[in-house]
């Protein structure tokens, strides 16, 4: 089997790049003949098509990447296998997607979104995102590398560190977490809430709004937003430095940070919806807050990034849920329970680690990928 993996290569620290790179690593370790290429590099992709002649070109992204992940390899007679996430609504390329013999998606919720929006589910198979459980593993809190992370973030030894990581924090539920922390502040041990976000213009504007909310809630001195650019090498130590990982995400097709936190043996507070239904187990590996509200829209305006002309309006026959909000009361209840019960944190973290190792290790995901390709496409 010869596989070309198309993603953000060489990998940036982002989720899609990591998703693709761990598949590439896993296939390499299995002895598969595999190469990696940037999904937008038309010239380099064509170069691989001509001399490498891959059996499949698997591309990581969402439906809007169809021209790069599907149409481009098809033009050169190469079989594309997209491995897709969802962004709330699949607005275009239904005809192209429905002709594919195989589509991989990251969770059952993502599959539901594609089927809801006109893609046949017959050839959609769920393949979870891999996790490097050698890097993301439990570490002692007195490990100098862990202590250095906490010190650099201004977390004192006697303070609990609650962590959220994302491109921005609000989409990962940080505003709901802050509201919950404000409710329980006087009942909880000393704490600091750390939000690690990526430096970009959109994030800076969102950070300002989030920090204004923290000030309104009276907890600004306990909330830290850090926007430094970091590598994947640092991430296991950042996650390892926290006591509780909190991400009741508003939109999440898999939940890679939650899985990585579980691999590090950390208790997780999330939302009982979307991709987390596949990755977390309520009360065992995580506490999952109920959905308090769904953001529903009747129309959207799209542009060239979605394969339309600018300001193309799509009106839905049935309004679509495009975003979720977790119950602040549930988040507060679960956080307080964990903050006051170290044994529960340890038990939940251990269960989370076991689940990730057994189900989401990147080597397991790579083996499953090979099985799916063999079964669906007959390529050995």
Q: How confident is the model at residue 167 (pLDDT cuts 50, 70, 90)?
A: confident
* Angle ∠(114,119,124) on CA atoms, nearest 5: 75
pLDDT of 199 higher than 90: no
Q: How confident is the model at residue 309 (pLDDT cuts 50, 70, 90)?
A: confident
pLDDT of 277 higher than 80: yes
Q: Average pLDDT, whole number, for the chain?
A: 94
What pLDDT shows up at residue 3?
98
What pLDDT shows up at residue 12?
87
- What digits encode the pLDDT tens for the residues 228-274? 888 889 999 999 999 999 999 999 999 999 999 999 999 999 999 99
What pLDDT shows up at residue 312?
81
What Rg do the C-alpha atoms of the chain give, in angstroms?
A: 21
pTM (2 d.p.): 0.94
pLDDT of 90 higher than 90: no
The average pLDDT across 184-191 equals: 97
Q: Are the C-beta atoms of residues 24 and 5 closer than 8 Å to each other?
A: yes
The boundaries of every CATH 3.40.50.2000 domain in the chain are 2-130+361-377, 144-290+327-359
Other Cβ atoms less than 10 A from the Cβ of 363: the count is 17
The average pLDDT across 113-136 equals: 95
Q: Work out the burial of residue 48: count CB atoms within 10 Å of its CB; fewer than 13 is exposed, 13-18 middle, 19 or more buried.
A: buried
pLDDT of 164 higher than 80: yes
Listing DSSP states for 23-84 in one string gives HHHHHHHHT-EEEEEETT-HHHHHHHHHHT--SEEEEEEEGGGHIIIIIHHHHTT-EEEEEE
Q: Where are the alpha helices (DSSP H) in 67-173?
A: 72-75, 94-98, 108-116, 144-152
Q: Are the C-beta atoms of residues 131 and 265 closer than 8 Å to each other?
A: no
pLDDT of 318 higher than 90: no
Q: Are the C-beta atoms of residues 95 and 346 closer than 8 Å to each other?
A: no
Specify the fold of 144-290+327-359: Rossmann fold (3.40.50)
Q: Are the C-beta atoms of residues 266 and 242 closer than 8 Å to each other?
A: yes
Distance separating alpha carbons of residues 254 and 256, to the nearest angstrom: 6
Look at domain 2-130+361-377 and name its CATH class.
alpha beta
What pLDDT shows up at residue 111?
96
The average pLDDT across 297-308 equals: 78
The DSSP bridge pattern shows strands 191-196 and 160-165 to be: parallel
The average pLDDT across 51-57 equals: 98
Q: With b meaning 16 or more CB within 10 Å and e meaning fewer, what string describes 275-289?
A: bbbbbbeeeebbbbb
What pLDDT shows up at residue 201?
74
């Amino acid at each position: 089997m010869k596989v070309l993996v198309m993603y953000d290569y060489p990998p940036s620290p982002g989720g899609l790049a990591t998703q693709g790179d761990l598949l590439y690593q896993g296939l390499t370790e299995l002895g598969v003949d595999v190469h990696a290429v940037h999904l937008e590099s038309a010239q380099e992709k064509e170069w691989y098509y001509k001399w490498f002649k891959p059996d499949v070109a698997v591309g990581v992204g969402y439906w809007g990447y169809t021209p790069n992940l599907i149409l481009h390899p098809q033009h050169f007679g190469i079989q594309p296998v997209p491995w897709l996430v969802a962004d709330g609504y699949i607005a275009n390329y239904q005809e192209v997607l429905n002709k594919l013999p195989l589509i991989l998606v990251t969770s059952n919720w993502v599959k539901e979104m594609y089927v809801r929006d006109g893609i046949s589910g017959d050839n959609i198979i769920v393949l979870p995102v891999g996790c490097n459980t050698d890097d993301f593993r439990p570490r002692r809190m007195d490990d100098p590398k862990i202590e250095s992370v906490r010190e650099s973030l201004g977390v004192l030894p006697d303070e609990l560190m609650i962590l959220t990581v994302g491109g921005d924090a609000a989409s990962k539920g940080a505003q709901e977490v802050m509201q919950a922390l404000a409710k329980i502040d006087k009942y909880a041990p000393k704490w600091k809430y750390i939000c690690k976000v990526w430096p970009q213009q959109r994030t800076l504007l969102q950070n300002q709004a989030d920090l204004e909310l923290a000030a309104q809630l009276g907890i600004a001195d306990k909330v830290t937003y850090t926007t430094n650019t970091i590598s994947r090498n640092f991430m296991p130590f950042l996650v390892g430095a926290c006591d509780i990982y909190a991400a009741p995400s508003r939109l999440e097709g898999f939940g890679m940070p939650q899985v990585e936190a579980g691999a590090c043996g950390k208790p997780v507070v999330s939302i009982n919806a979307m991709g987390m239904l596949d990755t977390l187990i309520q009360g065992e590996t995580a506490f999952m807050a109920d959905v308090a509200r769904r953001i529903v829209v009747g129309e959207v305006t799209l542009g060239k990034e979605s394969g339309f002309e600018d300001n193309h309006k799509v009106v839905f026959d049935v309004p679509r849920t495009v975003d979720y909000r977790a119950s602040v009361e549930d988040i507060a209840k679960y956080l307080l329970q964990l903050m006051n019960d170290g044994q529960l944190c340890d038990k939940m973290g251990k269960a989370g680690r076991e689940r990730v190792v057994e189900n989401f290790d990147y080597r397991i995901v790579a083996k499953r990928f090979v099985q799916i390709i063999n079964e669906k496409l007959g390529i050995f």
